Structure 1
Amino acid sequence: MQPLVIKVGGAFIGDKDAARGLFAVIQELIKTRQLVLVHGGGPIVEQWMQALNLKSTKIDGLRVTTDVHMPYVVGALAGTANTQLVAQARACGLEPVGLSLADAHLVRCTQMQAKYGAVGEVEPADGKLLKVLLDEGYLPLISSIGCSDGGQLLNVNADQAATAIAQLLKGELVMLSDVAGVLDKQQSLLAQLNAQQIDALVEQKVIRDGMLVKVKAALSAATSIGMPVTIASWKQPQSLLQMLSGDSAGTRICPPELQSMDETKLNQEHQ
């Protein structure tokens, strides 16, 4: 069975009850699945920015990270957020190992357009360390701080970081945030989406901003891995256990090849 890669949003990290709930579910999941947790830490970064009286802005849902901001972003994500998660996981009886994208050449990280500042985009590189840790029963907890080949630290969107780790391990990806999944105009949960449906919802401005980045990352991962990617909520961690029996935990983003197979099957059934 493929490893399971779970991405959690930054708001989760400051919620001890939510952490206990998710790690309790992870304790059940790791009995049958190898598991990696990838995290962001936006709210923690915002707290640091406000405390330091530094202005934080976003473009296309991505945080603009200036050279002045970068040391604090690294401290917030690879330091405070990551170590907090390690402590919470240990308190729940797990064996966590705190890492960043910069460790062991897990990913290849390059700087994005200059307008974003020290923000990187990633692609999978070397999964040797993760495979060793997983085989030994550890729970890798990975922050979204990367490093270029030239040694420049870069802030990576956590959804895109999780996508690269899922690609690296050929694993199933679940992206957890503070919403149950992708919602329609009436704020009802959409159980499943394909590329054409996503394009239509983007054009209608139903999917936008941070959710747009999340859905694009999910679709990219689904396309490269060849399996659906789930967008769900960390506020309902028990829903993840439904995945063990093949049920949906939130919104399933389907890759194009799976969509084509489903359409072919549907056409055959109606012939």
Structure 2
Amino acid sequence: MKDNPLVIKLGGVLLDSRDSMKIFFDFLSTYFHNYSRNLIIVHGGGKIIDDMMKKIGMNINKINGIRVTNSSNIDIVVGALAGIANKRILSYLKRNKINFIGVSLSDGDSVLVERSKKLDFKNHTGIPKSGNPKLLFDLLSKKILPVVSSIGITKYGELMNVNADLAASALAKTLGADLILLSDVSSVLDKRGNRIDSINREKFNALINDGTIKNGMIVKVQAALDASEVLGKSVQIASWKENNEKLKLLFNGELSVGTFVYK
């Protein structure tokens, strides 16, 4: 088993399914109480944001799968991610007697966040980079599991929505950790539905051009490639739906069950 920390990015429909949450966090409890590897959870919560915006009649605007976050909706995004999604995860950790704390990217300057320069000054889309590991290492030394929402704060005090995959990669860089992107998608698949063991940027572009990779998977693999470049090592895309034995080996760094993405 590896002795460096493991950053687990949770995504997909997991946060919206009580049954799936129970199954996954029952496994996580068993792992947490029986293995010494330090874990950090990073999460988004896109569907929760969408549901909140629909309830109050706000338009949902995305470009190439990326949410447009601005001054009109940033408070909704913060409430959904740092509030509902974060506390929903904490509630399952509490049930499983796991010591936890809910934080954002900017607590302790763990991840530094700047406003995206590709957009205008009204946007609230943040670009993350590695920060100070002290707070999180202090928590991990006390066997406390940090649950990190993908909300950041700039040095000017501006709230920013950060892509959760990129947030997880910046956090992994901060801690010298490995990174697994867990979602409802088990791996990148070829046209026959078979698992692609590994993928780099050249292969990624070819698979987009021939229509194998499309829609939301483009965003996910792009984020994984960016994360791999930041970390200088491969990143694994896998599913929380795998059985407990496979998840255990995956978390220990002893098994590949998804797709390795490397620069």
Q: Distance in 1 between matches of 2:95 and 2:195?
A: 33
In the other structure, the counterpart of 1:247 is 255
Runs of 4+ that moved beyond 6 A: none
- 1:242 is matched by which residue type in structure 2? L
Do the aligned partners of residues 236 and 152 (structure 1) sit closer, same or farther apart at CA in structure 2, a change above 3 Å counting?
Answer: same
In the other structure, the counterpart of 1:83 is 87
Q: Distance in 1 between matches of 2:52 and 2:161?
A: 15
Equivalent residue pairs, number: 255
Q: CA RMSD for the aligned pairs?
A: 1.8
- 1:184 is matched by which residue type in structure 2? D
In the other structure, the counterpart of 1:93 is 97
Is structure 2 residue 156 aligned with structure 1 residue 144? no
Identical-pair percentage: 37
- Determine helix, strand or coil for the equivalent of 2:112: strand
Do the aligned partners of residues 34 and 150 (structure 1) sit closer, same or farther apart at CA in structure 2, a change above 3 Å counting?
Answer: same
**What TM-score does the superposition give when structure 2 sets the normalisation length?**
0.90
Q: Distance in 2 between matches of 1:32 and 1:227?
A: 23
Q: Which shifted more, 181-190 or 92-101? A: 181-190
Unmatched runs of 5 consecutive residues or more in structure 2: none
Aligned pairs (5 A) from 1:86-165: 86-112=90-116, 113-114=118-119, 117-165=123-171
- 1:2 is matched by which residue type in structure 2? N
Q: Distance in 2 between matches of 1:22 and 1:254?
A: 27
Which of 4, 25, 28 aligns to 1:23? It is 25
- Determine helix, strand or coil for the equivalent of 2:13: helix
Q: Distance in 2 between matches of 1:223 and 1:109?
A: 18
**What TM-score does the superposition give when structure 1 sets the normalisation length?**
0.88
Shift of 1:145: 0.7
Is structure 2 residue 192 aligned with structure 1 residue 186? yes
Which of 47, 50, 60 aligns to 1:46? It is 50
More helix, by proportion: 1
- Determine helix, strand or coil for the equivalent of 1:94: coil
Unmatched runs of 5 consecutive residues or more in structure 1: 256-271
Shift of 1:235: 2.3
In the other structure, the counterpart of 1:261 is none
- Determine helix, strand or coil for the equivalent of 1:99: strand
Do the aligned partners of residues 237 and 114 (structure 1) sit closer, same or farther apart at CA in structure 2, a change above 3 Å counting?
Answer: farther
Q: Distance in 2 between matches of 1:156 and 1:140?
A: 18
